[in-house]
Amino acid sequence: MRVEDLPRKEVNVLKGHEGGVLAARFNGDGNYCLSCGKDRTIRLWNPHRGIHIKTYKSHAREVRDVHVTPDNSKLCSCGGDRQVFYWDVATGRVIRKFRGHDGEVNGVKFNEYSSVVVSAGYDQSLRAWDCRSHSTEPIQIIDTFADSVMSVSLTKTEIIGGSVDGTVRTFDIRIGREISDNLGQPVNCVSMSNDGNCILAGCLDSSLRLLDRSTGELLQEYKGHTNKSYKLDCCLTNTDAHVTGGSEDGFIYFWDLVDASVVSRFRAHTSVVTSVSYHPKENCMVTSSVDGTVRVWKT
């Protein structure tokens, strides 16, 4: 993929959030996107047309992360109110509230079958919540982390969590093993490569680290941006050719995956870019920022 194909042109600005937007996520097919922020709402957008579709209000504090099922029927969200909400997308009602985290919940994800919500909390734990039954108790608590868990990522068989204790821990359900990769730096964000072989970990020393999942080897480090105090997202492009991430100075960075050179950087927001999400198929990207906007980028 050439550099020109990178989404660097602003197509739409999704305005509506009052206060910072803490996360923006494409849905499974990339037709919609969700954002959540400090105004305690979750908003559903059509990023391609720049239309605000729906607002989900129920959280008592800021909403830190949101995720949608592959069939677009359910949402899960989490935030500062220490709860994980399980929403019905169409009606906008909360189906279930999962309480149990002792601290703020930093990240949340559905599993492949949308049957389990896994949340990462400040209480140093990952918790798995059952969406099928009516139980509001977690079906599993993973508390081997030594510090706040900032981000969670799921595969078909694994739960991957990144924590401030500097570890990326992979919990393989299939073999019942926990693999802890200590990066030595607080991990803000873990995201999977599209081929599933690598983990991109955003660390608080202003670097992104690419880990080989099978060996735990550090493949590459991506530097240049600023990330020292905020929880910033990072991800790989849909072709796995580039690594992208926001910076605390409002810039967006694109690195080449292999040689870690900054391919492109441009000012996207006036403030910290909290989240980036890349379209699953097209060259499109949404970014959110503390400045209260969500921007849609295309080539």
Partner 1 sequence: MESDEEDFVFYGTPIEREDDLTSRKKKAIAEASGQLRTLPAWKQEVRDEEGRRRFHGAFTGGYSAGYYNTVGSKEGWAPRSFKSSRKNRAEFKEQNILNFLDEDEKAEMEGRLLGTTSQFDTFGFTAAEIARKQAEKEQKQRPSIIPGPAPDEIVVPATESVGVKLLLKMGWSRGRSIKDSHSDALYDARRQARRAFLAFSSDDPAVKITESEPIWGDSENFPEQLANDEQFSKSTPVFVLNPKEDLYGLGFDPYKHAPEFREMKRPRVSSMRGPGYSKNLSTRDSLFGLKSGKAAPGFGIGALEEHDAEDEDVYATGFEIEDAYVQEVEEPSTLSLENPKKKEQKNQGDLPGFRVASNSDYKMERFEPPLIPKDFVPHHEFSGPLDINCKGCEVTPPDVSPPQNGNLKLLIDGVANLVAKCGKLYEDLSREKNQTNPLFSFLSGGTGHDYYTRKLWEAQQKCNDQTSQQLDGKMPPSVQRLTAESRGKILGEKSLKKSAQDPSSSIASTDIQLQFNLTDTFTKSASFSELMDIEKPFKDDPAKQERFEQFLKEKYKGGLRSASSSLAGDMTESARAKERLSFEAAAEAIEKGRQGRGSKPSIASSMDFIPGGVMQFTSSEVERKKDPLVEDILSKKMYPKREEFQWRPSPLLCKRFDLIDPYMGKPPPAPRIRSKMDSLIFTSDSVKVNKVDGPVFSKKDITPLQQLTNDDMTKSFTENKTEGDVEVENIERPVDLYKAIFSDDSDDEGEDPSIKRVENPEKKAEVANTALSRLIAGDFLESLGKELGIEVPPDMPYPAQKSRNVASQKEIVNEDSKIDILKSENNGVMSSNHDIPYDQHISHEAGASKGDTIHGNMLESSNITTKGTGIIDSKPAKSNGNNIEDDKKIKTSLICRQDHGSSSEEERSRKGTNREKSEEYKKVKTPGTHRRDYSSSFSIEEERSRKHSRHHRRKRHDGGSDSASDDERDRYSSRSKGRRKGSSRSEKHSKHHKHRKLPSRSSRYYNDKDNSYSKREKKRRE
Query: Among 36, 204, 243, 296, which residue sits at the site for partner 1 (rule: CB under 8 A)?
Result: 204
Beta carbon nearer to partner 1, 194 or 226? 226
| Strand-by-strand arrangement of the 51-57 sheet | 21-26, 33-37, 41-46, 51-57
Using rule CB under 8 A, residue 101 touches partner 1: no
Q: Which of residues 132-171 bind partner 1 (CB under 8 A)?
A: 132, 139-140, 142-144, 146-148, 150, 156-157, 164-166, 168, 171
Q: Which is nearer to partner 1, 132 or 281 (CB)?
A: 132
CB count in 10 Å sphere of residue 109: 20
Q: Give the Cβ contact number of residue 41 at 10 Å.
A: 21
* Shortest CB 70 distance to partner 1, Å: 14
Q: Using the minimum distance from each CB to partner 1, give the nearer residue, 274 or 283.
A: 274
H-state helical runs in 79-218: none
The alpha carbons of the chain give a radius of gyration, in whole angstroms, of 17
Q: How far apart are CA 255 and CA 85, in angstroms?
A: 35
Applying CB under 8 A, the site for partner 1 has a residue count of 71
CB of 267 to partner 1, least distance (A): 14
Does residue number 178 form part of the binding site for partner 1 (CB under 8 A)?
Answer: yes
Q: Which of 7, 20, 47, 246 binds partner 1 (CB under 8 A)?
A: 20
Query: 3-state DSSP call for residue 252?
Result: strand
Q: With respect to partner 1, which residue has the nearer C-beta, 31 or 271?
A: 271
Q: Is residue 218 close enough to count as binding partner 1 by CB under 8 A?
A: yes
As measured in angstroms, the least distance from the Cβ of 278 to partner 1 is: 23
Pairing of strands 83-88, 187-192: unpaired
* Interface segment toward partner 1; rule CB under 8 A; list 4-12, 49-57, 198-206, 234-242: 198-206
- Sign, Cα dihedral of 148, 198, 140, 64: positive
CA–CA separation, 239 and 224 (whole Å): 22
CA–CA gap between residue 259 and residue 220 (Å, rounded): 8
Using CB under 8 A, which of the segments 2-10, 23-31, 40-48, 212-220 binds partner 1?
212-220
Residues 66-95 that bind partner 1 (CB under 8 A): none
Residue in this structure with the two tokens 């068989």, named with its chain if needed: 157
